[in-house]
Each structure stands twice: as C-alpha cells, then as structure tokens.
Homo-oligomer: A and B are copies of this chain.
C-alpha cells in the first residue's frame, strides 16, 4: 500500500506525530493524496503494532500528549523495499469519468456537450489549484509536476471529445 510508503518516507526525514503528518500531506501532496486524519491515525497504529515505527509520547502544555513516531530498522528496510517496488511497478490509474463517456450515446449530443463543458470547467479549476499549490523542495516536486502534466493531457483529450461531438466528421 502506497500510503504506508508515504508515511514511512516522511518519518524517515524526521520523527512526526499524526496531526503533523496529516497536515504536511494536506499542504504539499493534496493534489495526489487525500489522507483523512482518522486514516492516518489508523495506519500509524497499525504500523506501530507491526514494528515498522516506534512511538514516544511528548507533552506540550495540557493538550493530549503527542504520539511522535520514528522509523525502526525494520521500518527502514520496509521503506526501501516498498520504494523499489513502487518505482519498478506500473499501476494503471482509475478514471471514474470514463464510465460516463461509455454511455454518451444514450443521450443527445447537445446535452452531452453541456455536461462535459461543466466537467471542463472543473478540470480547469483543478489545474489552477495545482499551479498555485505550495511546493515542497526536492523530488516531491515530481508529484505536482506529474499531476499538472496529467491534467493538461486530460484537458486536451476532453477538447477532442467536445470537438467530435460538435461536428462529427466536420473536420
């Protein structure tokens, strides 16, 4: 699971507590990952139980004590393995929007175009968000850059479909 790779990788740079990890991901990687707070705690618990990370408590004022995690040696080896496995693998992306396109011939071209124009608007919005997202230095930039490349390809593709709907065979 890639989320494990992510958490392990972040903890490899420095020990962090759950809230902090969630915050970091939300800030720098939200274009790519949507990790809920509960899920972060859930995964950290599990990985601590598996011995991949170790926790230590840190009190600040009267707040709930922070549970600060750091990589164990087992965790480090696990990270190395996961990273290599991830880089050497290809996982097909899942496009939820494709299934609508599959049934495009169940409706009039005019309505389809109007609906897809709305999709286009959201796409452009997403692109703008990606452009203006804060960047973390280093190879984490690849994540945002890839997202941008993908969104641009998606936009071109969508415009092709729209053109075809507008005038089938008109070109």
Option from B89, B102, B149 in Cβ contact (under 8 Å) with A29: B102
CA distance A2 to B149 in the complex (A): 25
Chain B residue, CB-CB nearest to A103 = B9
B90–A97 contact, CB under 8 A? Answer: yes
How distant is the Cα of A160 from the Cα of B82 in the complex, in angstroms? 23
C-alpha spacing A84/B100, complex, angstroms: 8
Q: Which residues from 109 to 150 on chain A have a C-beta closer than 8 Å to any C-beta of chain B?
A: 112, 115-116, 118-119, 122-123, 126, 138-140, 142-143, 146-147, 149-150
Q: Binding site of A, secondary structure by majority: helix, strand, loop or mixed? A: helix
Q: Are A90 and B123 in contact (CB under 8 A)?
A: yes
Quick check: A12 and B149 within 8 Å, CB to CB?
A: no
Flag whether A33 is at the interface (Cβ < 8 A). Answer: yes
A residues at B contact (CB < 8 Å): 2-3, 5-6, 9, 12, 29, 31-33, 83-84, 86-107, 112, 115-116, 118-119, 122-123, 126, 138-140, 142-143, 146-147, 149-150, 153-154, 156-157, 161
